[in-house]
Amino acid sequence: MLTNNLIKELNNTLPKSNILSGIEERYVYSIDASNDPYIKSQIPDAVVFVENIEQVQQVVKIANKHMTPIICRGAGTNTVGACVATHGGIILNFSKMNKILEINAENMTARVQPGVIVGDLQKAVEDIGLFYPPDPSNLKVSTIGGSIAQNSAGARCFKYGATKDYVIDMLVVMADGQLIRTGSNTIKNATGYNLGSLFIGSEGTLGIVVEATLKLITKPQTSQVIMAYFDKIEDSIKSVNKIIEKQICPTTIDFMDQNAIQTVEKFYPTGLLCDKESALIIEIDGYETYIEELRKTICNILRENKASSIQFSKNKQEADHIWTARRSSMAACTKLKPNVTTDDVIVPRQNLAKLVKGIQEICKRHNLTVCMVGHVGDGSVHPQIPIDYNDKDEYRHYKIAKSEIYHLTVKLDGIISGEHGIGLEKKAYISKVVEGGALDYMRQIKKIFDPKNILNPYKIF
Ligand SMILES: Cc1cc2nc3c(=O)[nH]c(=O)nc-3n(C[C@H](O)[C@H](O)[C@H](O)COP(=O)(O)OP(=O)(O)OC[C@H]3O[C@@H](n4cnc5c(N)ncnc54)[C@H](O)[C@@H]3O)c2cc1C
């Protein structure tokens, strides 16, 4: 009855074609890329496609009246169950709010709606010589709203930082329907609390981002990708630190272990060297005159640290070819078992070798295959574990292995999420890595921003 009234009110307020209320339509929104069937997600009561800020405010008012949750959804590609319903509610779908409102070349900013696809924005700004660096591997589908809410990063984070480093202003609809502006259209802002930073990485639990102004930088003149293979995994990790010690700052320092190399080559062949224990994918960018010198310096360091084969791209097509191989790893893993899970543990770089070796040892002990890739320049790895959820014993081992991986990460002074967020999947672990007092403050902030607990409730904590 309550749900019927909710749907009726939504239908009376918004165009009927913007609301999905059939079970077969709502079911689609009960999952996201976390795909763990043991996550306690529910079918939402309604899915609403919003087209403008006023409609978002109207939906929030209705949700307040019915005390029903609102869960924002970009492309649903988060890997932690961050945009699924746990207690019914309304899924707010931003796919119709997907316009780039302005690219200001003079200010070097872009003003966008939350449903803009990250890759579309990148292409649009690069066409006029500007650059928006944050590059989650699935940038061709994930949205700006989702990236802000998860503080997404990616390979280029090593040199250019994460989404948080590019958001200078936002319009946010609060839990009571009020619209607030969090920043200004300026590169610097020391005016009061940095309110915007609270929303970035908050997984839609504090407010609804309805517009964002993003800082842009100048597009590097050229770039090149170096792929270096190693016979010993330790040598590849050592090379990462040696490059950085020489005060060289490549755009990316990414990693693939042997299982990842072999799995990609098996299902999406690109000519990777399958007999090697690991590979580093190092992208460099800058002025044409400087790139060759830089490449030579990096290649010398790689050789000194026992790289057994080094290749580099001679044009954009070859560079894309290497990145396609690296970015295909998760899709390739799905061919090994019915499902694949990923993670994003991160440690201070000096502890990286211990983390990588430790994860391999844990997975071996639990008879799990792990294909490891990662943004190792940041100290972060993505252990991708193919799994059959119907195999109860395998799932039990997987859960224990996960817990051991988090335990190891903490022991190595790391943290359980560098870029994917907490959502439902990791909420049981947050108290193990965030100290009690800090967690209390986070809970109090949630209460102040959302006293009725209607914005993406029961996520993170
Ligand atoms: C194959 C693959 C590779 C990936 N690689 C990377 C990677 O390299 N780096 C990385 O950081 N991540 C990566 N991810 C994770 C994923 O890309 C990010 O979490 C992504 O940015 C989420 O965007 P989305 O549009 O899909 O958001 P969704 O999954 O739809 O939502 C994510 C969160 O944002 C909230 N949200 C969405 N829109 C809004 C809004 N307008 N206002 C407030 N809250 C909102 C949702 O409620 C949810 O909590 C990868 C995922 C996959 C499947």
Compute, in angstroms, the gap from residue 159 CA to the centroid of ligand 1. 21
**Amino acid 165: pLDDT:** 98
Residue 453 domain flag: no
| Helix/strand/coil (H/E/C) assignment for every residue in the chain | CHHHHHHHHHHHHCCHHHEECCHHHHHHHHCCCCCCCCCCCECCCEEEECCCHHHHHHHHHHHHHHCCCEEEECCCCCCCCCCCECCCCEEEECCCCCCEEEEECCCCEEEECCCCEHHHHHHHHHCCCEECCCCCCCCCCCEHHHHHHHCCCCCCHHHHCCHHHCEEEEEEECCCCCEEECCCCCCCCCCCCCHHHHHCCCCCCCCEEEEEEEECEECCCEEEEEEEEECCHHHHHHHHHHHHHCCCCCCEEEEEEHHHHHHHHHHCCCCCCCCCCEEEEEEEEECHHHHHHHHHHHHHHHHHCCEEEEEECCCHHHHHHHHHHHHCHHHHHCCCCCEEECCEEECCHHHHHHHHHHHHHHHHHCCCCCEEEECHHHCEEEEEEEECCCCHHHHHHHHHHHHHHHHHHHHCCCECECCCCCCCCCHHHHHHHCCHHHHHHHHHHHHHHCCCCCECCCCCC
**Amino acid 1: pLDDT:** 55
Whether the per-residue pLDDT at 229 is higher than 80: the answer is: yes
Same domain, 190 and 112: yes
In sequence order, which residues have a C-beta less than 8 Å from that of residue 267 and are 6 or more positions away? 328, 331, 332, 335
Residue 461 domain flag: no
Which residues have CB under 6 Å of ligand 1?
A: 32-33, 71-79, 82-83, 94, 114, 136-138, 142-143, 145-147, 149-150, 152-154, 203-204, 208-209, 330, 419-420, 456
Same domain, 140 and 247: no
Backbone angles phi, psi at 74, to 5 degrees: -90, -105
pLDDT band at 459 (very low <50, low <70, confident <90, very high): very high
Residue 342 domain flag: yes
Q: Identify the residue whose C-alpha is closest to ligand 1 atom 21.
A: 147
- The full length of the chain comes to 461
Q: Identify the residue whose C-alpha is closest to ligand 1 atom 28.
A: 76
**Amino acid 187: pLDDT:** 92
The stretch 245-266 carries a mean pLDDT of: 96
With the most atoms of ligand 1 within 8 angstroms of its CB, the residue from 137, 174, 179, 426 to mutate is 137
**Amino acid 36: pLDDT:** 84
Residue 437 domain flag: no
Compute, in angstroms, the gap from residue 321 CA to the centroid of ligand 1. 24
Compute, in angstroms, the gap from residue 204 CA to the centroid of ligand 1. 11
Compute, in angstroms, the gap from residue 143 CA to the centroid of ligand 1. 7
pTM: 0.95
Same domain, 257 and 349: no
Average pLDDT, the chain: 96
Same domain, 255 and 192: no
Residue 451 domain flag: no
Cα–Cα distance measured from residue 349 to residue 340, given in angstroms and rounded to the nearest whole number: 26
Whether the per-residue pLDDT at 35 is higher than 90: the answer is: no
CATH number at residue 394: 3.30.70.2740
Burial per residue of 15-25, b for 16 or more beta-carbon CB atoms within 10 angstroms, e otherwise: eeebbbbeeee
With the most atoms of ligand 1 within 8 angstroms of its CB, the residue from 39, 112, 142, 417 to mutate is 142
Whether the per-residue pLDDT at 39 is higher than 90: the answer is: no
**Amino acid 155: pLDDT:** 93
Q: How many domains does the chain have?
A: 4
Whether the per-residue pLDDT at 331 is higher than 60: the answer is: yes
Q: Which two tokens stand for residue 268?
A: 């999406």
Same domain, 310 and 327: yes
Q: Which domain holds residue 156?
A: 100-218
Compute, in angstroms, the gap from residue 154 CA to the centroid of ligand 1. 12
Q: Identify the residue whose C-alpha is closest to ligand 1 atom 16.
A: 78
Q: Which two tokens stand for residue 389?
A: 């959820």
Compute, in angstroms, the gap from residue 33 CA to the centroid of ligand 1. 9
CATH number at residue 9: 3.30.43.10
The answer to whether the Cα torsion of 204, 206, 212, 217 is positive or negative is negative
CATH number at residue 106: 3.30.465.10
Q: Model confidence over 340-357: pLDDT tens digits?
A: 999 999 999 999 999 999
Residue 202 domain flag: yes
Q: Which two tokens stand for residue 119?
A: 């890759």
Tokens 């893993």 -> residue: 333
Same domain, 80 and 122: no
The domain boundary, picked from 202, 218, 234, lies at 218
Tokens 């010198």 -> residue: 293
Same domain, 311 and 231: yes
Same domain, 86 and 115: no
Compute, in angstroms, the gap from residue 343 CA to the centroid of ligand 1. 13
Q: Identify the residue whose C-alpha is closest to ligand 1 atom 6.
A: 136
**Amino acid 2: pLDDT:** 61
Cα–Cα distance measured from residue 384 to residue 374, given in angstroms and rounded to the nearest whole number: 10
The stretch 363-392 carries a mean pLDDT of: 96
Whether the per-residue pLDDT at 231 is higher than 60: the answer is: yes
Whether the per-residue pLDDT at 38 is higher than 90: the answer is: no
Q: Model confidence over 184-195: pLDDT tens digits?
A: 999 999 999 999
The fraction of the chain above a pLDDT of 70, given in percent, is 100
Q: Half-sphere exposure of residue 350, counting CA atoms within 13 Å on the CB side?
A: 2
Cα–Cα distance measured from residue 204 to residue 47, given in angstroms and rounded to the nearest whole number: 16
Q: Model confidence over 248-258: pLDDT tens digits?
A: 999 999 999 99
CATH number at residue 321: 3.30.70.3450
Residue 434 domain flag: no
The domain boundary, picked from 331, 364, 389, lies at 331
Q: Model confidence over 179-219: pLDDT tens digits?
A: 999 999 999 999 999 999 999 999 999 999 999 999 999 99
What's the Cα-to-Cα distance from 371 to each of 332, 336, 366, rounded to whole Å? 10, 11, 14
Same domain, 206 and 179: yes
Q: Identify the residue whose C-alpha is closest to ligand 1 atom 9.
A: 136
Q: Evaluate whether 143 touches 92 at the Cβ level (below 8 Å).
A: no
Q: Which atom of ligand 1 is nearest to the CA of 77?
A: 26
Q: Which atom of ligand 1 is nearest to the CA of 418?
A: 11
Tokens 């809410």 -> residue: 149
Q: Which atom of ligand 1 is nearest to the CA of 423?
A: 49
Same domain, 378 and 395: yes
Compute, in angstroms, the gap from residue 145 CA to the centroid of ligand 1. 8
Q: Identify the residue whose C-alpha is closest to ligand 1 atom 34.
A: 146
Cα–Cα distance measured from residue 20 to residue 320, given in angstroms and rounded to the nearest whole number: 39
Compute, in angstroms, the gap from residue 368 CA to the centroid of ligand 1. 26
70-73 and 90-93 strand pairing: parallel
Residue 458 domain flag: no
Cα–Cα distance measured from residue 16 to residue 22, given in angstroms and rounded to the nearest whole number: 13
Cα–Cα distance measured from residue 299 to residue 455, given in angstroms and rounded to the nearest whole number: 50
Same domain, 240 and 327: yes
Instruction: For residue 112, count CB atoms less than 10 angstroms from its CB and return exposed for 0-12, middle for 13-18, buried for 19 or more.
Output: buried
The domain boundary, picked from 218, 247, 282, lies at 218
Compute, in angstroms, the gap from residue 78 CA to the centroid of ligand 1. 4
Same domain, 277 and 315: yes
Instruction: For residue 375, count CB atoms less than 10 angstroms from its CB and return exposed for 0-12, middle for 13-18, buried for 19 or more.
Output: buried
Q: Evaluate whether 299 touches 226 at the Cβ level (below 8 Å).
A: yes
Q: Identify the residue whose C-alpha is closest to ligand 1 atom 47.
A: 72
Compute, in angstroms, the gap from residue 402 CA to the centroid of ligand 1. 21
Which residue in 31, 83, 151, 80 sits closest to 429, CA to CA? 80
Sheet holding 70-73, edge to edge: 19-20, 46-49, 90-93, 70-73
